[in-house]
Amino acid sequence: MCGIVGYLGQRDCTEVLMDGLEKLEYRGYDSAGIAVFEGRDIKTVKTRGKLTAMKEKLEREGRPQGHCGIGHTRWATHGEPSDANSHPHSNGRVTIVHNGIIENYAELKQFLTEQGYTFLSQTDSEVVACLLDYYYSERNPLHAITETLKELRGSYALGIIFKDFPERVYAARCGSPLIVGVGQGESFIASDIPAFLKYTKDYVLLEDNEIVRLDTEGVMFFDVHGIQISKERRIAEWDVEQAQKCGYPHYMLKEIHEQPGVVQKTLDSLTKDGIPDFTDIGLTDDMLRGFNKVFITACGTAMYAGIVAKYAIEKLARVPVAVEIASEFRYMDPIVGENDLVIVVSQSGETADTKAALELAKERGAKTLAVVNVKYSAIARLADICINTLAGLEIAVASTKAYSVQIASLYLLAFRFAYAREAIDADELKRLTAQLAKTPEVIQNIIDRCDECQFIASQLVNTETLFFIGRGFDYALSLEGSLKLKEISYIHSEAYAAGELKHGTISLIEQNIPVITIATQSHIIEKTISNMEEVKARGAFVIAICRKGTTFADGTVDLKLELDFGELNDMLVPLPTVCALQLIAYYSSILRGNDPDKPRNLAKSVTTE
Ligand code: AGP
């Protein structure tokens, strides 16, 4: 939930670090800082606020001049956003940046205080700097690191510099992502690849309990005992352009517009001869026939993609599917075992709760399938089988294209599941797959109607609370539409199964409360319309998002967005419809003066509990 960077080379280190932090700002942005060697001294500049505040401070106080250093952009976990709580943290000969949570920091702080250490911040991270200094007595950085790591409990990605070694950067990780960039005569550490993509595409994934040293000789890797190890180098599939806005005002709008292409790419990668084919990733029809039950566990938007998948798999394959919030699943002692399939969905592949749920599922002997957007991420590497979605780099905190490629992949899985269990025949399999293949075009048609979505958003701009309602697939979509809106517009929004509203919550409906109704499921449209009439009768401002040609009694609907899905099966309608909800959320955020790419209190990848 924070971004860390480090650099050693011949470039202007301050520029490289600030550039990298800008690319990682989506990971946290309540404070920032850098520490750069100037000769044998370390100059640290840090401040509360976004990177713009940091740039102003650098202009005021002077930019550190050097070629080696570390940097950090923070999402506060311990201690409010403040100059003192900003990273980097220094103590004695050591300066560090940290992403993660040190769970035993209080007892370590107590011990270090007894050793005479004093603390300037309320953070858990500063304790790591002190502990490293405590073990640095022999002036051996690697020894200090291995001894310190033995005592840490929790999660960390650390960037570390030692004052006596002005041309070295160390890093270590456990539970939080850290990647090493390898250039010509220069090297980098970062929480995510975009931070150094403009300088090199060669990278190495640091795994849990591994250490790396950048120095003028190059890059060396060690295990947690300080024993040198060798690591595989990889080439990033993304290019610099994907890490930029390319003319769009926000990453979120760019990523919404990328959906037709990335959905097409993802569908093509999982389809052979017109039908879904997962044999390349090791998922066979025999396996699909053998599962008694399916669990889908994830967080946030990824979980809501799982709910769409639940409805599709149960409808077609007739196998029970339970969707579980990952942070619940991991602690609820779930009844899961060998004949079950546990699907974990994660854009980043690094979400701590989802990773922990996956680890639990494996312990219980279930077969595990990950649907991730970041190849080689922790979750991708941990699962038995992995579907790599091809949304490309998703930078905006609010997930859009990742959700779309998640449900596109999961629809294909649902089709194959049903075919493997002989719930549908080969012709139906081909027909459904062909229908799904048409969705990119339908998605584009909806994105082209962004003006109408902007108008709907303009009707919400002064709202402080609203509801989304729907039934079946429309309910699943309401959940995602509600999250998208509230997380970037800060309007309080709740999603409800339309039939459930009258069991209590309808008491909150009063004059002009907006109720956004998703009404696309023809087999239950009358029931949904009844619910619309119920809220309308109580003064609600009813917005209908429906299939083109849907009619409502006079006075039921205040605003209507009719979407042309062509011949698309109702089951597939969430895939294009979500784009309208994303655009409504995006414009609501803009109209309320927010930054949709960096909503308050949020971070792109929640790598702590
Ligand atoms: C999405 O808009 C949210 N920012 C958030 O709910 C996100 O989907 C969730 O944190 C899961 O992230 P993941 O897909 O990377 O695991």
- CA–centroid distance, 66 to ligand 1, in Å, is 37
Determine the pLDDT at residue 23.
86
pLDDT: which is higher, 605 or 348:
348
The DSSP call for residue 207 is P
- Cα of 103 vs centre of ligand 1, distance in Å, is 23
Beta bridge partners of 457: none
Per-residue pLDDT tens over the stretch 10-59: 999 999 999 999 888 766 678 899 999 999 999 999 998 888 899 999 99
Q: How far is the CA of 288 from the centre of ligand 1 (A)?
A: 27
Residue 352 burial (10 A CB sphere; 0-12, 13-18, 19+): buried
Q: Is the pLDDT of residue 78 over 90?
A: no
CATH for 3-242 is 3.60.20.10
Query: Looking at 12-21, 67-76, 459-468, which range is the least confident one?
Result: 67-76
Ligand 1 centroid to 602 CA: how many Å? 10
324: confidence class by pLDDT, cuts 50, 70, 90: very high
The pLDDT of residue 83 = 80
Q: What's the pLDDT tens digit per position in 551-564?
A: 999 999 999 999 99
Q: What is the pLDDT of residue 21?
A: 94
Cα separation values, 230 from 6, 204, 603, Å: 21, 10, 32
How far away, in angstroms, is 535 Cα from ligand 1 center? 31
pLDDT of residue 27: 67
Element (H, E) at 575: helix 574-591
The mean pLDDT value for 211-221 works out to: 97
Report the alpha-carbon distance of residue 35 to residue 499 in Å, rounded: 57
CATH number of 444-594: 3.40.50.10490
Structure tokens at 501: 């509203």
Which residues, 6 or more positions from 258, have their beta carbon under 8 angstroms from its beta carbon?
391, 392, 401
Question: In the annotation, is 450 catalytic?
Answer: no
Mean pLDDT throughout 567-572? 95
The reported pLDDT for the residue numbered 1 is: 64
Which run of H or of E encompasses 568? none
Instruction: Choose which residue among 252, 304, 347 to substitute to test ligand 1 binding: the one with the highest number of ligand atoms within 8 A of its C-beta.
Output: 347
Query: 142 C-alpha vs ligand 1 centroid, how far in Å?
Result: 35
- CATH 3.40.50.10490, the chain: domain bounds: 247-253+287-436, 444-594
pLDDT at 167 over 90: yes
Q: What is the dihedral of CA 436, 438, 441, 445, to 10 degrees?
A: -70
Secondary structure (3-state) at 151: helix
**Residue whose CB lies within 8 A of the most ligand 1 atoms, among 26, 299, 325, 609, for a mutation test:** 299
The pLDDT of residue 601 is 81
Take residue 596 and report the two structure tokens written for it: 């949709």
Length of the chain equals 609
Residue having the nearest C-alpha atom to atom 9 of ligand 1: 300
Helices (H) and strands (E) in the chain, counts: 19, 27
Q: What's the CA-to-centroid distance between 302 and ligand 1, angstroms? A: 6
Task: Note the pLDDT of residue 31.
Answer: 87
The single residue listed with the structure tokens 């790598």 is 607
- 3-class state of residue 351 by DSSP: coil
Q: Are 33 and 17 in contact (CB under 8 A)?
A: no
247-253+287-436: which CATH architecture? 3-Layer(aba) Sandwich (3.40)
> Which positions ≥6 away from 125 have C-beta within 8 Å?
78, 87, 89, 96, 97, 98, 102
Domain limits, CATH 3.60.20.10, in the chain: 3-242
In this structure, the residues whose C-beta lies within 6 A of any atom of ligand 1 are 299-302, 346-348, 351, 354, 397-399, 487, 605-606
Secondary structure class of 567 (helix, strand, coil): coil
Buried b (16+ CB within 10 A) or exposed e, 383-398: bbbbbbbbbbbbbbbb
Task: Check if 109 is active-site.
Answer: no
Q: Tens digit of pLDDT for each residue in 285-311?
A: 999 999 999 999 999 999 999 999 999
What's the rounded Cα separation, in Å, for the pair 170 and 540? 58
pLDDT of res. 246: 77
On the question of pLDDT at 75 being above 80, the answer is no
State the catalytic residue, choosing from 2, 68, 130, 546: 2
Choose the catalytic residue: 23, 560, 598, 604.
Answer: 604
The residue to mutate among 29, 192, 256, 351, having the most atoms of ligand 1 within 8 angstroms of its beta carbon, is 351
Supply angle C-alpha 553, 558, 563, rounded to 5. Answer: 80
* Spatial distance between the Cα atoms of 270 and 321, rounded to a whole number of angstroms: 22
Cα 285 versus chain centre, distance = 31
Report the mean per-residue pLDDT for the chain.
94
Would you call 215 helix, strand, or coil by DSSP? strand
Of 282, 330, 590, residue with least CA distance to 458: 590
CB 30 within 8 A of CB 600: no
Q: Which atom of ligand 1 is nearest to the CA of 301?
A: 8
Query: In this structure, are residues 478 and 499 in contact, taking their beta carbons and an 8 Å threshold?
Result: no
Confidence label for 608 from pLDDT (cuts 50, 70 and 90): low
The pTM is what? 0.83
228-244 residue pLDDT tens: 999 999 998 877 777 77
Q: Please, are residues 193 and 179 in contact by the beta-carbon 8 Å criterion? A: yes
- pLDDT tens track for 199-214: 999 999 999 999 999 9
- The proportion of the chain whose per-residue pLDDT surpasses 70, expressed as a percent, equals 99
- Asked whether residue 434 carries a pLDDT value surpassing 80, the answer given is yes
